[in-house]
Amino acid sequence: MVKLRSIRRDDKRAISPILGYVLLVTLGLIMSGIAYNYLKTYVPQEAVGCPDGVSLFMKDYSCSGGQLNITMKNNGKFNMAGYFIHASNNSAQKVATINLAKDFINSSDGEARSVTDSYIVYSIGKDNFMTPKIDTEHWFNMNVPNLISVEITPVRYETINDKQRFAICSNAKIKETIVCS
């Protein structure tokens, strides 16, 4: 009989740690489910993008007197707010890395501005100002010698859930080869 009591006491002790581990794992799963459902509300459901009809065309360029003059045309279906502009002076680079927005001088209509030396807007304010079929000329200081290519990425404001969102139209990015020395 002494052995039976010993076995029963050992059985109770063996169940208690297992029950504790099961409760601990269950509590961990419940807490992680609650945290997941709470945190997924902070992640945007879809990325802000531009419609497929956004298009910008570099009509002409010239390099003279330490300036780069670019004539662009909105040949798409939608208005645009502005663009990012980067250049390259190395043919081995696949992505242009020289930011020309910081060297922006002026535009033919006098409305365009460089925003935080990062991108160019056609007009100050949250508006898609450049309408389709319009040409505009922009001037930049050429602080970097021997430019060989220019990449221009249009931007526009999109209304999502009654809020204006800044959208980068990476699907409409253009890359043009230029010769400036």
Torsions phi, psi of 121, nearest 5?
Answer: -115, 145
Closest CA to 175 of 147, 134, 145, 135: 147
Per-residue model confidence (pLDDT) at position 153: 94
Per-residue model confidence (pLDDT) at position 14: 60
pLDDT in tens, the chain (181 residues): 445 445 555 555 567 788 889 999 999 999 999 999 999 888 877 777 888 899 999 999 998 888 899 999 999 999 999 999 999 988 888 888 999 999 999 888 888 888 888 999 988 776 888 889 888 999 999 888 888 999 999 999 988 888 888 899 989 999 999 887 7
91: helix, strand or coil: coil
Closest CA to 70 of 55, 85, 54: 85
Closest CA to 129 of 74, 81, 78: 81
Q: What share of the chain is helix, strand, coil (3-state, %, to 5)?
A: 25, 35, 35
**Residue 56 near residue 73 (C-beta atoms within 8 A):** yes
Per-residue model confidence (pLDDT) at position 1: 47
Per-residue model confidence (pLDDT) at position 12: 55
- Separation of alpha carbons 15 and 83, rounded Å: 68
